[in-house]
Structure 1
């Protein structure tokens, strides 16, 4: 791929001693929470994590100030199921959203199995993160892409700006054709507008009570639309074989600028020491737009390029200035993390994640040897560019289940019954399938995967597709 893998492997800093976290439970002790969830931003789509073309100075600064988690994963390889995992704290078989829309996607003649039915919205009875925080005294605001139900206001959100079931904007320029966002002046740019809405919320929210701000900008999802001056800037800039689209680069910069506005406002308001900030993305980058080398493939795939995501956590004076390497975590770990820092105890919630606070404090017990899982009983097609590295004959993925434990990752294919085994530590690009060479590790992970599927009642596609081969 023309990339030196070692240049992307994080340099682990010495774990610094952190200030003791005060006893939680009193309103004055409960920090504000800002969750920034970018759409389709790949693991290398930042100038401090591999890109020599995109410019992200504000995210870079946040990473330098905060804690970078090198092996963070989304709960799924595309947006609706990933966001459902994040907001419910549960694996996909528990909430039933596996993909976006129809699960039997792609050429019917090339699909051997009939996919498991897919939910397109979360069931009304499932409790979501904003509602749990709201019931515990938090003010809640959502800005941008929601995508998991029709109306965030029915799921514990006090203030909703631009969020509904839509997976992408009709236009990044006003008029937006979004019933949950009033149009601005003609030509107003959506990212700038949502950034302004976030800054305005921060200025007006009651500072005597904690707040939860979920800033889930639609960017940098398609359609690729950006401001002309930035597009021209990147047309003149030297691109790379991995990153070469000037419109996408311009979108990344606009996204970064508005994150900078939010972070600057937090600092200006004097609430940086009492605000817990998370920056992340919902899945890997779109391979046809932005390659994630040395990671393999991209959005929609369960190779690293589709599910490994950036993650930075920062709270001034508490969680800052280091990196956590070689310790896989999943995005749904944020749900119990937020509950712990908020002093919320909800024993009746079914959460598959664990609080990251011990890890953020340098305690690795409970994280080493931990298994993470993915289940995708469906088909997701891809164009010629998107499927270059999946080897899936026109599909970004076919029905699979996946387990990641320590250095190892196993992928089970339901069409063939075959498995792939990779050592992610030594083979971040997933080039060498070790399933035949290391049968002991293959069998160990395979057995753990089967046990997990039984535990969560994961539905397995077994019905043959009568259109297959025609």
Structure 2
């Protein structure tokens, strides 16, 4: 599956079926991608952006937006064209990435609000906790959005350092914290990306002599959109959205440059991806739907990876994977221990990254709030529900679930359930089994606004506000 790391429309899909069959027989890793048991452990940098669509990078066809630094990650390493976020909205997606588990297992099916008194349970084991226990320095920069009481705060979830904000930039109060201390009450969001990038440069320099994990979770391009005044109009017709993404690309360039300046390029694994599809602006590429939808556009996101010591430049893998795979894969590469006392839904995808191997997943599940939105096999997808005029339409109650051939019709245009009744029944049975498994995990997190207007808003980190 080597070739251009540049994604071009749907050409990836035509190659997948053939490649998945022969990859394990014909593929051998390039010399530059060979690894050994006694090789030094890699550093990990995960750049997790907020509400960026599959089609929002210049390498994936964005018409006006230029993202040379982000694109270079894939050009110098790996692009995965069928990569999925763990959910179609913020908090569940972040929980899935950090725990390697579908969101219902941690009770994180819904988005936290400023009045929320719940968050990621302390019993959950995050990537940061796992790697810290394996001797890594761990730091987080940016948007947390997994609870803003002290017991849920990043510094209680494995991150030794934190500079960032409690939740999305459209929620208030919106203050900047270092550790548990507020350092900026009225954030100037036009300089927030610069603040984050400066902190990333500092973290990399401070920990250059030891293995580290940096989780860089920017607030952008989630709305409202902000960028330095001098970047106004930079992306032309793409407006504020494009200018925000190009500002983010500058920050990514600074992170990559900091790795180079500290001699860390070769053995630092850099990942760029998004928490879900685009919201009110942006592009899902050729795919149907956006953030919050149950279709591809809600879940399918960019995935670019650079790791010169382990992944050859120009690698492309078209097999399916999900953000839940990061925890077990990082464990494998870092010599860390995957939690054994709970279900880990992710799989070690090292071979997908380094050898172009097929996906270790026979099935992926797509969570939507307390329920199941879809079931995906390497070729087919069974869609269980959609939204119509703000109403949630459960196809198991209205008409029937829809079966799509994701190799021939990734846009989910044509239901072919009657052409493949055996596959339809198989995926439906798996959907019912998974639905029954997560049903007891259902939670009621209330609405967007607090039932009690006197409820405290924002972080409670010291017990006395």
Q: How does the TM-score come out when normalised to structure 2? A: 0.80
**How far apart in 2 are the matches of 1:32 and 1:229?**
34
Residues 119 and 310 of structure 1: CA distance in aligned 2, closer, same or farther (over 3 Å): farther
- Following superposition, the deviation at residue 317 of structure 1 comes to 3.2
- What are the residue-to-residue correspondences of 1:68-467 with 2, within 5 Å? 68-101=79-112, 120-150=118-148, 151-164=153-166, 166-168=167-169, 177-180=175-178, 182-183=183-184, 189-205=191-207, 207-234=208-235, 237=236, 239=237, 244=238, 246-286=239-279, 288-350=280-342, 351-362=344-355, 364=357, 367=360, 370-377=362-369, 400-413=372-385, 415-417=394-396, 418-455=400-437
**How far apart in 2 are the matches of 1:356 and 1:119?**
35
Determine the structure 2 residue equivalent to 1:17. 30
Question: Secondary structure, in 3 states, of the residue corresponding to 1:195?
Answer: helix
Question: Secondary structure, in 3 states, of the residue corresponding to 1:262?
Answer: helix
**How far apart in 2 are the matches of 1:138 and 1:362?**
26
- Following superposition, the deviation at residue 182 of structure 1 comes to 2.7
Question: Secondary structure, in 3 states, of the residue corresponding to 1:276?
Answer: strand
Q: Is the 8 A contact 1:8 1:50 kept in 2?
A: no
Residues 188 and 45 of structure 1: CA distance in aligned 2, closer, same or farther (over 3 Å): closer
Match for 1:30 among 32, 41, 45? 41
**How far apart in 1 are the matches of 2:418 and 2:109?**
30
Q: Is the 8 A contact 1:75 1:330 kept in 2?
A: yes
**How far apart in 1 are the matches of 2:301 and 2:285?**
13
**How far apart in 1 are the matches of 2:440 and 2:326?**
23
Residues 327 and 120 of structure 1: CA distance in aligned 2, closer, same or farther (over 3 Å): farther
**How far apart in 2 are the matches of 1:186 and 1:449?**
46
**How far apart in 1 are the matches of 2:312 and 2:223?**
33
User: Which structure 1 segments of 5+ residues have no match?
Assistant: 103-117, 379-398, 462-470
Q: Is the 8 A contact 1:296 1:303 kept in 2?
A: yes
**How far apart in 1 are the matches of 2:351 and 2:109?**
30
Question: Secondary structure, in 3 states, of the residue corresponding to 1:161?
Answer: strand
Q: Is the 8 A contact 1:92 1:374 kept in 2?
A: no
Q: For 1:235-260, what per-residue CA distance to the aligned partner results, in whole angstroms no more than 9, with x for missing partners?
A: xx3x4xxxx4x101000000000000
**How far apart in 1 are the matches of 2:190 and 2:353?**
39
- Following superposition, the deviation at residue 142 of structure 1 comes to 0.2
Which piece of structure 1 moves more, 404-413 or 221-230? 221-230
**How far apart in 2 are the matches of 1:457 and 1:292?**
30
Q: Is the 8 A contact 1:291 1:297 kept in 2?
A: no
Aligned-residue CA RMSD (Å) = 2.8
1:39 is aligned to 2:21: no
- Following superposition, the deviation at residue 370 of structure 1 comes to 1.2
Q: Is the 8 A contact 2:176 2:183 kept in 1?
A: yes
**How far apart in 2 are the matches of 1:254 and 1:329?**
28
Q: For 1:74-112, what per-residue CA distance to the aligned partner results, in whole angstroms no more than 9, with x for missing partners?
A: 11001100000011110122112222148xxxxxxxxxx
Determine the structure 2 residue equivalent to 1:49. 60
- Following superposition, the deviation at residue 371 of structure 1 comes to 0.4
User: Which structure 2 segments of 5+ residues have no match?
Assistant: 1-6, 386-392, 444-465
Q: Is the 8 A contact 1:152 1:163 kept in 2?
A: no
Question: Secondary structure, in 3 states, of the residue corresponding to 2:272?
Answer: strand
- The alignment of Structure 1 onto Structure 2 pairs a total of residues equal to 404
